[in-house]
Each structure stands twice: as C-alpha cells, then as structure tokens.
Chains A and B, each alone.
Chain A
C-alpha cells in the first residue's frame, strides 16, 4: 500500500477517533463529575452524609468498572439502540464509551476531591457557606488541577477503548490497524497507525499535564 492510498484511510480513521473520543469525553464529564461529587458528598463525614446511598453508588460504579469494555459494549446494545436509534457506526460507539468511562472518571473525580483539605472545607462551613456553595466554590475549584488530570487520563483511556469500536462498526484508528494492518498484512499501515496513536496519547498527556500545572497554586 502506498502513502497515497494510506493518506485518506488514515485521515478518515483519525477523524472517527476524534469524534468518538470527543463526544464520549464530553458526556463522561457531564455524567461522571456529578457522580464523583456525589461519592464524596454522601460519604460518611462528607457534606451530607448518606452512607446507604453512597454504598449503592459505590457498587454501581464498581460493577461498571469491572466489566471489560468489549463485553460492556455488547451487553448494552439494547440501551444503545434506545438512546441513539442504531447499534452500529460512530454515534453508536459513543454510548458504550460513555457508559464505560463514567464510573472510571467518577472514581478519579472522587480521589481529586478528597485531596482538598478538610480544614479548607471547615473554614468555609465556619463562614456560613452552604453545601452547594462549598461544592461550587471550594471543592471543585480547589480540585481543578486534579480534575484536569482526571480528564486527561480518561481521554487516554477512551482512545484505548475506542480501538475496540471497530467491532460494532465505529471505525477509527484502532479499527484501521486491525482490519488493514493485521487482517490484510499491511505492516506499514499498522506501524503508521500505532505511531499515530502513540503521538496522539503523548500530546494529550503533555497538554493535560501542562494545564494542570498552570492551574495549581499549592
């Protein structure tokens, strides 16, 4: 296969990966952030202790995290159809990607929020701040560098998951590597794809680290 033949294939696959990862990151943050906050707020000794609720959430998150992505993707096909009306293609991959990443991201959010000092939270309580104010103006801003790091790790994980999306016709770089590189013995394409993925992950991680560092004033 020549470079001229590979070009459009790579371009299209990269675009699909970007779409899958982009959308699923957006939805993961949208659902995972509140879930992570809930894990901290409802915990024993949290802002609004509700140990029973916290246990239920904890179990749900753990179940979500223990399913291998490829199993999850197939297991939730009925749900995917319900949400996006189809079970194949790029859009259909965003659903399992999000479902798979939300518990993962929520745990990372939980860890980042726990890094915020108890003394700072208590100081805010002593100033008469309510729970919502403390979450919005203390916990989230103080944990922001950690949250950025959590998003970075999640994006990298999503790039990895998205490689399996080929199974349900999602396309993307991983799928390209499997179909052309592995199944058709296009070794050069395989190598180029792998290099592209490595560079992409490196770039994202470096960018995430840079932003987190700039935001940190500890």
Chain B
C-alpha cells in the first residue's frame, strides 16, 4: 500500500534520511520506532510529500507521488489521512467545522458534508459534540476530532505523527484502541511513527526501528521476535546482558502459557533455574521470553524437545 524506496533527505549539511526503504502492506498497522532525531518524522512527512525527498520515490496505493505535479499531488493527498501530535485543529472553527474542512477542500456539497460530518463524529465517539470548540475538549477528544477529520476523505491510508505522544497513558490506550478498531473495521492501512515501544506493542503488526536516518531493522513483529538477537526483542524483553555463561534464552510464541517448562523438567530430569523473563501481549498474540540455565540431566535432549515445541532457543 505504501512503498518508499531509497529515500534520502538532506538539509544543508544534515542528512535526515539516509537511504530509507519501507513497505507497508494493505490493511496493516506499521510502526516506525525511534528516538527523536532518528528521522522518523521526516520519513512520515516524505510519504505525503510535505517534505520532498532529495532522492527516492514514494508510492501510495499504486500512485508514484514523487512524479505528480502540485494539483495532482493535492488530489492524491486527499486520499491520505494524517493525524498530528498536537492535533493541529483550527481554533476558529467548531468541531464539526474542523471535520468539514477537508470535505470543503474536496468540494463536497453542504448537505452531503453535514451528513458525513455527523457520521464521522459518531464513528470516533464524539456524536453530538459538533458544536463545541476545540478548546473545550480534552486532549484525547481533540485527537478524536483529528482522526475524524483525517478520515473525511475515505482515505486508504492514515499517517500518524506521534498522535499519542501528547496524551496521558489511559488516553493513549483509548486512542490506540480506536486506531485498531478503524484498522479492523475499515481495513485502514496505518503508518505511525512513535518513540514509545508501548504503542508498537499495543497495535502494530510490523515495525521499522530507525536510528540516525536509517532503518536498523524492519519486518513483522512476529518475524522479528523469532529472529535471534533482534533489537525489537531485546527492547521489548529486556534481559540482563551479557547472558551468563551456560544460560539459554527461550522465546515462546504462539501460546506462551502452555506448560512446556515443567514438562521438560519431568521428562528430562533437569533443574531449570529461571534467571529472568516476561510475557507481553503483542498485537499478533502473547509472546514470552525466558532466560534459564539447565543443569543436572539430559540438557541437550531438553533443548531439542523445546525446539520441537516451537520454542526459539538461543
């Protein structure tokens, strides 16, 4: 759905993006994770060409945006929703007026606009608040208005620029739940950037980790979790590094609550000493990671058994 290839963005002497490629599949939630200054904001703004990349191409829904002239680009942008960290609502307009703005830009007739605005406000849980002013709303409600506005043009893609970074944890979760629901119900493809691992854990199907203008690793979360030594795994499941000699790290995907460890103890007569670990609920299902040391029995057999049960041993 979104294909970015070889994106470079240079400001004077600063290289903000240094050859970034990204592939977001239709219907997924793709997170770009990184510290501030990693280039993720520039990347997002290159996707709808708010920033024109110095080199590289961006294709959204099969259309090469970098090849479009400004009028065509504006029409293409109407099919790409965007939400912002500080909401970027018009203080001069009511809630309904804000949601109507993109419809006005598209030249939708007034009656049709009003119908659509009511529908959108219901969708984000703000039905009946159309007459309010943005400054009468809480942060979470403002972001809901931002989301309704972004969806006005029936976009196939939603870009989220740190949309929850200005919100408290509970509100963050409610906004993420809304995004997840829109993703499921409308089949909306979402590309979000964030510096919060929590956001990636809660809603993302795929992730790219960025640092210094480059993508360090990317892929589906499920794949990255199964990749030994991936940064994602280390950051989601911090275990003391370096691993003590003789210890192994077990990564449980699928159903981490099956009792494989006690099964190993019974079958292979080993002592299992748990050094650390945790279980996290990720968008693709629960994943557990455990560091253990085995001793006193058929250790090799035990490890082989664990592997045969789909546990990643490293």
Using a CB–CB cutoff of 8 Å, the interface residues on chain A facing chain B are: 117, 119-120, 122-130, 133, 137-138, 141-142, 144, 215-218
Contact = CB atoms under 8 A, between A and B. Distances in A.
Given A129-B101, A130-B71, A138-B90, 11 more contacts: A125-B77, A126-B77, A127-B82, A127-B149, A128-B75, A128-B106, A129-B74, A130-B70, A141-B92, A217-B91, A218-B91
B105 A120 contact: no
B84 A133 contact: no
Contacts of B135: 217-218
22 contacts: A120-B90, A123-B82, A123-B84, A125-B50, A126-B50, A126-B77, A127-B82, A127-B101, A127-B105, A127-B149, A127-B153, A129-B102, A130-B74, A133-B104, A133-B105, A137-B101, A141-B92, A142-B90, A142-B92, A144-B92, A217-B134, A217-B135
A176 B232 CA distance: 81
B304 interface: no
Contacts of B116: none
B52 interface: no
B77 A127 contact: yes
Given A141-B93, A217-B135, A218-B135, A127 B102 contact: yes
Contacts of A215: 92
Interface size of B as a range = 20 to 34
A123 B78 CA distance: 11
A144 B82 CA distance: 26
B77 A123 contact: no
B101 A217 contact: no
A142 B89 CA distance: 10
A217 B92 contact: yes
Q: Which 8 A-B pairs have the closest CB atoms?
A: A123-B88, A128-B77, A128-B78, A141-B92, A128-B74, A126-B82, A119-B88, A127-B102
Interface of B: 48, 50, 70-71, 73-78, 80, 82, 84, 86, 88-93, 101-102, 104-106, 133-135, 149, 153, 159
A125 B77 CA distance: 8
A217 B92 CA distance: 6
A129 B48 CA distance: 13
A4 B73 CA distance: 71
A218 B86 CA distance: 13
Given A120-B90, A142-B91, A137 B74 contact: no
Contact of B90 (A125, A141, A216): A141
Given A128-B78, A141-B90, A218-B91, A122 B133 contact: no
B76 A128 contact: yes
Contacts of A119: 84, 86, 88
B76 A122 contact: no
Interface residues of A: mostly helix, strand, loop or mixed?
helix
B162 to A, nearest CB: 11
A123 B161 CA distance: 11
Nearest to A126: B82
Nearest to A127: B102
B92 to A, nearest CB: 4
A137 B104 contact: yes
Nearest to B152: A127
Determine which residue in B74, B80, B149 has the highest number of CB atoms from chain A within 10 A of its CB, and name it. Answer: B74
A132 B223 CA distance: 47
A216 B70 CA distance: 33
A132 B27 CA distance: 34
Given A126-B82, A217-B133, A117 B74 contact: no
Contacts of B90: 120, 138, 141-142
B92 A128 contact: no
A120 B48 CA distance: 16
A123 B93 CA distance: 14
- A117, A122, A126, A137: most-surrounded residue (chain B CB, <10 A): A126
Nearest to A129: B105
B102 A128 contact: yes
B103 to A, nearest CB: 10
Contacts of B105: 124, 127-129, 133
Given A126-B50, A127-B78, A120 B102 contact: no
Nearest to A125: B50
A150 to B, nearest CB: 16
Nearest to A216: B91
Which of A128, A133, A137 has the most C-beta atoms of chain B within 10 angstroms of its own C-beta? A128
B88 A120 contact: yes
A128 B60 CA distance: 15
A153 to B, nearest CB: 21
Contacts of A120: 88-90
A122 B50 CA distance: 7
Nearest to B86: A119
B72 to A, nearest CB: 10
A124 B50 CA distance: 11
A122 B88 contact: yes
